[in-house]
């Protein structure tokens, strides 16, 4: 059965006359254009060239960017609260990362000076000792070898320990001669140090080899654990930021529901509708990142004076390193990307649900 | 321009909004859609805009089989259709100008082109002096004309109007019908849903009559 069509004789054409099907079929190909204006408009529409499209696209981007920023600034208190929440969530792991960087730096300076003390047997002569030092200095895994005679060692002890008076009362020098070995930089890793230690202790002139291996290992391990902990914390807090921004964007979408319906109805693409909200998310993230960078700068400035004093007491040149300019920018960038991501999730979930009905 | 083939719409609640509706509209035609509220006028209009999908049958608009339209194509399809609502759906957070400019902005027209076209459309509906006003300051008839300007600013090939004269007095509704007739005269296909029988008689155009979702009349009104 043929699908029913409206009966031709019941349908008048624009002139008021009825048109039957065969007439229309004949007329169709040669029909003088009944809507010249519409035609010319069609041509005008197709004249929106690629260049115009691109201009309009970039114009909408900058418009969306500026407008969404202005919208945030229209409700400064609310926006500031969101920025603070994000800033705290960003600043906390960032601060911990920076702290560990500092600790690692301290560890590195200690490790650099982590020398192996080789105590020679009591009966080793000065010449034998210096020969030994000469041989070890040739080793590829040794950066520097220094011979310290027992007399020199005693002098140092008198100066450094503050127990000089006591040493003066000793009948004989109790200290052995020592060769101080500085491993090569690559020798920082614990197992390389270990094998070097094994090689040194094998020499018959050597009484003992001291290397605070355990300490190095512990520091390494501690930093690994701490880094993982901070990673997990950062992950959780990033999730928090995503949720905060997602929820904020969801409310923004709800507030502009009417607008979304209308623009969808007049032919807005999904990308067009999405754009202002993505920029809103980006601004939330970037704003939060900037506040976080400021918080960190203030915090490290506040800490740096007492830390410097503390380091001075230990005769260390250690100085607390905050975020430098590039690192602050990176922080803001990461926060911005997180904001964008949060907005994207919210938009994907909620914009789809708003369809003209 | 528009073809409905055996189109039915049954909602999940079991309510049948349209039942086996068949009709065809030529390009450049002007016609009316009438029936009591709940007869299916709005459902039919929404199907043309692809705001609703038929449960059965096929809808063709401007050469597109709507059931087979890819999702990404929908916005571009809608740009060719101007819509006027009874509640005009204007945005009160922006000026008349910005409301009318919306379809052009969405379609990515260059700035100067938007200015020209918006002013031309506002001139057409005689509201050029109100372009900087907020639509909330305007009367009902003026708001409806802003809605019409927005519907035609993109020079669509098809203009749909759902109860455009719904709560306007006869003089104003005549004015609006005159506008529609003018658009039709320059080639736009115009379809107006109304329950105003007096208006239908005055206009003397093709009328589709719906009763409880069934098409019971197709032709000029007695």
Q: What are the pLDDT digits (tens) for B120-159? A: 999 988 899 998 999 999 988 889 899 999 999 988 999 9
Summary mean pLDDT of chain A: 78
Helices (H) and strands (E) in chain A, counts: 12, 4
CA A308/CA A303 separation, integer angstroms? 9
| Domain, as residue range, for B39 | 21-220
CATH topology of domain A116-210: Alpha-Beta Plaits (3.30.70)
Distances in Å between the Cα of B20 and the Cα atoms of A236, B160, B207 are 56, 21, 18
Instruction: Output the domain CATH number for residue B190.
Output: 3.40.50.300
pLDDT single digits (tens) A67-87: 889 988 888 998 999 999 999
Task: Enumerate the domain spans of chain A.
Answer: 64-108+219-353, 116-210
Tokens of A56: 């309009």
The pLDDT value recorded for residue A163 is: 66
Residue A20 has pLDDT above 70, yes or no: no
CB of A18 within 8 A of CB of A8? yes
Which H or E run includes A325? Answer: helix A325-350
Residue B33 lies in a domain: yes
Greater confidence (A111 vs A205) lies with: A205
Q: How confident is the model at residue B3 (pLDDT cuts 50, 70, 90)?
A: very high
Residue B61 lies in a domain: yes
Residue A33 has pLDDT above 50, yes or no: no
The pLDDT value recorded for residue A258 is: 87
Lowest mean pLDDT among A208-212, A213-217, A289-293: A213-217
Q: Read off the pTM.
A: 0.71
Question: A79 to chain B nearest CA, in Å?
Answer: 20
Chain A to chain B, count of Cβ pairs less than 8 Å apart? 115
Please give the tally of structural domains in chain B: 1
Residue A296 has pLDDT above 90, yes or no: yes
Residues of B with CB under 8 A from a CB of A: 5-6, 22-24, 26-30, 46, 49, 51, 72, 75-79, 83, 89, 91, 93, 102-103, 105-111, 113, 150, 154-155, 157, 186-188, 206, 218-220
Chain B contact for A48 (CB, 8 A cutoff): yes
Average pLDDT of the residues in A240-249: 90
The residue behind tokens 């004249």 is A47
Tokens of A251: 């409310």
Average pLDDT of the residues in B4-13: 89
Chain B contact for A30 (CB, 8 A cutoff): no
Residue B3 lies in a domain: no
């Amino acid at each position: 059965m043929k699908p029913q069509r409206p009966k031709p004789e019941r349908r008048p054409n624009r002139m008021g006359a009825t048109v039957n099907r065969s007439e229309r079929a004949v007329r169709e190909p040669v029909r003088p254009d009944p809507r010249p204006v519409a035609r010319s408009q069609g041509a005008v529409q197709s004249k929106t060239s690629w260049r115009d499209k691109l201009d309009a696209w970039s114009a909408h981007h900058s418009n969306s960017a500026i407008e969404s920023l202005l919208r945030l600034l229209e409700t400064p208190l609310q926006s500031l609260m969101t920025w603070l929440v994000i800033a705290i969530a960003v600043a906390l792991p960032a601060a911990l990362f920076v702290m560990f960087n500092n600790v690692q730096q301290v560890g590195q300076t200690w490790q650099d000076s982590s020398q192996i003390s080789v105590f020679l047997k009591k009966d080793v002569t000065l010449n034998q000792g210096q020969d030994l030092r000469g041989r070890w200095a040739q080793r590829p895994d040794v950066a520097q070898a220094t011979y310290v005679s027992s007399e020199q060692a005693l002098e140092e002890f008198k100066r450094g320990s503050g127990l000089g008076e006591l040493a003066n009362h000793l009948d004989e020098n109790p200290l052995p001669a020592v060769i101080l070995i500085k491993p090569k930089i690559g020798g920082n890793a614990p197992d390389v140090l270990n094998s070097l230690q094994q090689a040194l202790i094998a020499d018959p002139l050597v009484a003992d080899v001291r290397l605070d291996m355990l300490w190095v290992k512990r520091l390494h391990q501690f930093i690994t654990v701490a880094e993982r902990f901070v990673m997990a914390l950062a992950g959780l807090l990033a999730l928090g930021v995503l949720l905060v921004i997602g929820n904020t964007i969801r409310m923004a979408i709800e507030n502009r529901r009417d607008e979304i319906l209308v623009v969808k109805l007049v032919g807005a693409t999904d990308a067009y509708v999405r754009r202002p909200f993505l920029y809103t998310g980006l601004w939330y993230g970037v704003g939060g990142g900037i506040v976080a960078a400021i918080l960190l700068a203030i915090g490290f400035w506040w800490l740096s004076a007492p830390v410097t004093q503390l380091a001075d007491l230990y005769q260390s040149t250690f100085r607390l390193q905050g975020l430098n300019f590039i690192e602050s920018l990176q922080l803001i960038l990461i926060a911005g990307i997180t904001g964008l991501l949060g907005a994207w999730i919210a938009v994907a979930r909620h914009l789809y649900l708003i369809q003209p009905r | 321009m528009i073809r409905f083939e055996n189109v039915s719409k049954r909602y999940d609640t079991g309510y049948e909004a349209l039942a086996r509706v068949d009709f065809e509209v030529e390009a450049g035609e002007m016609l009316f859609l009438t029936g009591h509220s709940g007869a299916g006028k709005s459902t039919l209009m929404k199907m043309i805009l692809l705001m609703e999908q038929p449960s059965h049958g096929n809808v063709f608009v401007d050469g597109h089989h709507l059931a087979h339209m890819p999702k990404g194509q929908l916005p571009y399809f809608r740009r060719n259709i101007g819509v006027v609502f009874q509640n005009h759906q204007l945005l009160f957070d922006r000026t008349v100008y910005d409301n009318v400019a919306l379809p052009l902005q969405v379609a990515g027209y260059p700035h100067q082109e938007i200015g020209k076209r918006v002013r031309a459309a506002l001139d057409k509906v005689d509201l050029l002096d109100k372009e900087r006003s907020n639509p909330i300051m305007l009367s009902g008839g003026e708001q409806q004309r802003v809605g019409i300007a927005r519907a035609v600013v993109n020079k669509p090939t098809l203009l749909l109007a759902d109860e455009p004269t719904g709560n306007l007095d006869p003089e104003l509704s005549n004015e609006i019908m005159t506008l529609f007739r003018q658009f039709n005269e320059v080639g736009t296909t115009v379809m107006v849903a109304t329950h105003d029988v007096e208006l239908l008689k005055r206009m003397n155009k093709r009328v589709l009559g719906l009763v409880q979702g069934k098409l019971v009349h197709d032709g000029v009104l007695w």
